[in-house]
Copies of this chain bind each other. A is one copy, B any other.
Amino acid sequence: MKFIQGGVVAAKGFTASGIHCGIRKNRTKRDLSLIYSEVLANAASVYTTNLVKGAPLIVTKNNIANGKAQAVICNSGNANTCNANGIEIAEQTCQLLAQGLKIDAKDVIVASTGVIGQPLDIEPIKNGISQLIGELSKNGGENCAEGIMTTDTIKKEVAVEFTLGDKVCRIGGIAKGSGMIHPNMATMLVFITTDCAISSEMLQKALSTDIASTFNMVSVDGDTSTNDMVSVMANGMAGNEEIVAYGEEYAIFMNALNSVTVALCRMIAGDGEGATKLLECSVSGAKDDKNAKIVAKSVICSSLLKAAMFGADANWGRVLCAIGYSGAEVDVNKVGVSFKSNKGEICVCQNGAGIPFSEEIAKEILLEKEIEIIITLGDGNAKATAWGCDLTYDYVKINGDYRT
């Protein structure tokens, strides 16, 4: 398996586009994206657990209940959530796209991201749909990745190539992240494409299994969005024998999928709203997976620790504190903590108590852009990793006046 260029259009038979249609006022920002498969694809999706769900999620869930999809359309600038006519608008969007592409409106995955509670005008979408379809191409992946961005500062795309038997397969994905991100379930917006042949059922299993240790372990601000989902389309054009059961080929597919999702998780966390640093919390020695995950998430979510990391302050007491209130079953007297980056690694706590360390070296390590917080619990063999970012002035700035 290797990483390749191409993102969401890396796999055979997929084209994409992204345009400015007028939902966003700023004409330099793309606000409508499209991913299209030449042939009907198997589809799977996971959705936010927030009780308040964006209208597009409800429409998508209904559309792909049969495990099939051929296109994804997603706008930014408006979440189409908490609006009286939300479902209607989302369905109209599917119909407009389906007419243009000459496909069934039920084979469209529709998504929206942006402000909650402002009616979404269908006009810009209606007016833009011809251009959106007209620009579909193998070079459209970057525009497509741009069109789903909100407060993201970088495009998030990744792709991998692997072989199943003698067939070359590809999986690629794009993500929108940044804010309102918390690991209660399928958070953020992620679209994945693959030419690997895999049944809808196994595709859903692969996705649901994978997100438990990937997208569900990312937190930017503890707020679980109303609109987030992760969708995959598998169009089978790689020509491999369709994966219809667990086994070696499924394992290879899972491994490739995981490489794509972990890469997107790191991009989402590192580009969290206002973030200057990617934080990765690695927990080992937990009594079981559940406790490992609880600890990793609690630490990555601590506002106090996030602020300390922004200040490159090796305030490990906040790590202990977050472990202590996490609800996990741990013996706090066995906990060890180290900080690690490109500049090296430093142990700051053993057996639940501080040990002498050089503040100067710790500072040098913590001034880097990617920080690993390594926690050992000494209680078993289970491991977990969670991703997050620091808490900065810019997070407050971005969210203090998001709507205007």
Contact = CB atoms under 8 A, between A and B. Distances in A.
A52 B116 contact: no
Interface string A307-340: 1101101011110111111000010100000000
A308 B402 contact: yes
A182 B325 contact: yes
A225 interface: yes
Interface string A41-58: 000000011111100000
B82 A117 contact: no
Nearest to A397: B393
Contacts of A330: 51
Contacts of A349: 82, 117
A50 to B, nearest CB: 4
Interface in A9-38: none
A121 to B, nearest CB: 14
A82 B316 CA distance: 10
A54 to B, nearest CB: 10
A360 interface: no
Contacts of A307: 395-396, 398-400
A354 B52 CA distance: 13
Given A302-B223, A396-B393, A117 B310 contact: no
A302 B308 CA distance: 20
A401 B320 contact: no
A303 interface: yes
Given A311-B400, A324-B52, A353 B316 contact: no
A321 B84 CA distance: 16
Given A352-B82, A353-B83, A117 B320 contact: yes
In the complex this chain forms, how many copies of it are found? 2
A397 B395 CA distance: 12
A316 B117 CA distance: 8
A369 to B, nearest CB: 16
Nearest to A179: B304
A311 B401 contact: yes
A226 B324 contact: yes
A118 B354 contact: yes
A18 B385 CA distance: 46
Given A184-B325, A321-B50, A396 B395 contact: yes
A301 interface: yes
A2 interface: no
Interface string A109-127: 0000001111100000000
Contacts of A84: 353
A390 to B, nearest CB: 8
A303 B115 CA distance: 16
A46 B359 CA distance: 35
Contact of A320 (B52, B317, B392, B398): B52
A391 interface: yes
A207 to B, nearest CB: 21
A332 B402 contact: no
A79 interface: yes
A67 interface: no
Contact of A310 (B82, B83, B224, B400): B400
18 contacts: A51-B324, A52-B323, A52-B324, A117-B316, A117-B354, A118-B354, A180-B304, A224-B321, A226-B321, A226-B324, A308-B400, A311-B399, A311-B401, A313-B400, A313-B401, A313-B402, A315-B403, A391-B396
Give 4 closest A-B pairs by Cβ, nearest first: A116-B317, A311-B400, A52-B324, A307-B399
